[in-house]
Amino acid sequence: MYANRRSYLIHYKSKFEIERMRDAGKLAAEVLYETSLRAKAGVSTLELNDFAHQYTIKKGAESAPLHYKGFPKSICTSINDVVCHGIPKKDEILKDGDIINIDITVKYKGYHGDTSKTLLIGNVSEKARKLVEVTEKALWIGIETVKPNVRINEIGTKIEEFVSQFGYSVVRELAGHGIGKNFHEDPIIPHYKNNEVRILMKPGMTFTIEPMINEGTFDVIIDSKDKWTVRTADGKLSAQFEHTILVTEEGYEVLTLLK
């Protein structure tokens, strides 16, 4: 979600809605897991897309990205310097040494579950492996910040403090987002230090945390042809991990974990 909004209308989920969100989150995690097993050198990103789409349909759900604001495929596949919103293609073949983020969002029983992970394909470089490891840890640092009456901007502050010690940068133009009946809802969740988003977290909030961490500059460019693919401006690597989170009375619940 592009981080360009400053007014919010937050929907706090009821017990019924939370159960629906749990169902959707569990299915998203399942689809991501099964799709990830098929991500190997020699496989096209379109093959991954088609598998995820068919698996989702078999489970009685929908692939939420398909046709969302014109997006042409069912999942996002973002390789190496692609930060996010990579479009699966028949002629885009995974190679030994690639890293790829697979982003899955399902709509199930009227609610959305959204999750992603960056995978290592074959023998990757040490610098790529380190970036992926740090990015996954950054996600969990952000998640562990979640609890009632903590300001949302603390999530990004903790993430940026952690990744900056490795010389990495946090993408600023995209953010996590509220989620529920709608794919994207309020509030926005910045992943860097931001003093504008100071809303207090409250029980019943559901949102994604999905830091996009770049090896080099945080600047990004959007593909001028497809209008979707976001790349690092300097051509260096980027990694991302994502979970859908519920704010509880005591802290948080990760809704997109395989149970």
d(CA 12, CA 17): 9
Q: What is the pTM of this model?
A: 0.96
Task: Strand 220-222: give its sheet, edge to edge.
Answer: 82-84, 230-232, 220-222
Task: Report the pLDDT value the prediction gives residue 8, as an integer from 0 to 100.
Answer: 72
At the second CATH level, the architecture of 15-254 is Alpha-Beta Complex (3.90)
Task: Report the pLDDT value the prediction gives residue 7, as an integer from 0 to 100.
Answer: 52
Is the Cβ–Cβ distance between 187 and 169 less than 8 Å? Answer: no
SS3 label, residue 64: coil
d(CA 119, CA 79): 9
d(CA 74, CA 88): 9
Element (H, E) at 235: none
Distances (CA, A) of 50 to 56, 66, 121: 10, 11, 19
Is the Cβ–Cβ distance between 31 and 58 less than 8 Å? Answer: no
Q: Which residue has the tokens 């959707």?
A: 24
Beta strand extents in the chain (DSSP E only): 62-63, 76-79, 82-84, 99-108, 111-120, 169-170, 176-178, 185-189, 206-209, 212-214, 220-222, 230-232, 238-240, 243-247, 252-254
pLDDT along the chain (259 residues), means of 10: 61 98 98 98 98 98 98 98 98 98 98 98 98 98 98 98 98 98 97 94 98 98 97 98 98 95
Task: Report the pLDDT value the prediction gives residue 1, as an integer from 0 to 100.
Answer: 54
Task: Report the pLDDT value the prediction gives residue 259, as an integer from 0 to 100.
Answer: 75
Domain extents for the chain?
A: 15-254
d(CA 116, CA 131): 16
d(CA 234, CA 121): 22
d(CA 114, CA 244): 6
